[in-house]
Amino acid sequence: MSDTLPVTYLARHGETAWSLSGHHTGVTDLPLTDRGEQDARRLGERFRGLTFAKVFSSPLQRAVRTCELAGFGAAAEIDPDLVEWNYGKYEGRTSAEIHAERADWDLFRDGCPEGETPAVIGARADRVVSRVRAVQGNVLLFSSGHILRVVTARWLGLEPGAARHFLLSTTSLSELGYEHARSRPVIRLWNDTRHVERSG
């Protein structure tokens, strides 16, 4: 791999009450838990010595606060395309609750009633990828799990539904880049949470 090619770093927001309980959190603007805030500070330690040409964040407070605690609040630009998937009628519900009514439901295939389809979120992800690739230098993104997974699929030239294969934990760090040339996009690092201490 060439160190001269830019890297796009993906930071998923810290823990919220709903990420902990498994409730779908799209546009509901929840704060971080105390542990989420602690983990966001630890995430910031991973970026020591790195420089970024641009930092972008979702406008939702869980991403903005993670960005601030990681040390990039002053540098960040808000990007509405980084907002989490709009779950429509499934907002605030767990997968188990949804599957009890619709056993074969798959977010990445079906989307959500009165929410976003995979095609719509895929178009948002494409705008993010285009914006990032226009930057000369490394980029750092703070956002939520499902939209970052779709951004990754589109980075690789895959359909939005391929995002189902890319699991992301809260306060995780991932890296997208290239192998040898910009025509060969790759995942350099995925779902790294070594900076986060867990007990129990």
Active site residue 101: no
* Structure token pair of residue 154: 């589109």
Looking at this protein, which amino acid is placed at residue 110? D
Give me the sheet containing 185-192, strands edge to edge: 76-78, 54-57, 139-143, 8-12, 173-178, 185-192
Cβ distance 57 to 78 under 8 Å?
A: yes
Which of 13, 23, 24, 146 is labelled catalytic?
13
Number of C-alpha atoms within 13 angstroms, CB side, residue 59?
6
DSSP 103-169: TT--HHHH--TTS--HHHHHHHHHHHHHHHHTSSS-EEEEE-HHHHHHHHHHHTT--GGGGGG----
For residue 82, give the DSSP letter. G
User: Choosing from 68, 84, 91, 116, which is the catalytic residue?
Assistant: 84
Does residue 68 carry a catalytic annotation?
A: no
Q: Which residues are catalytic?
A: 13, 84
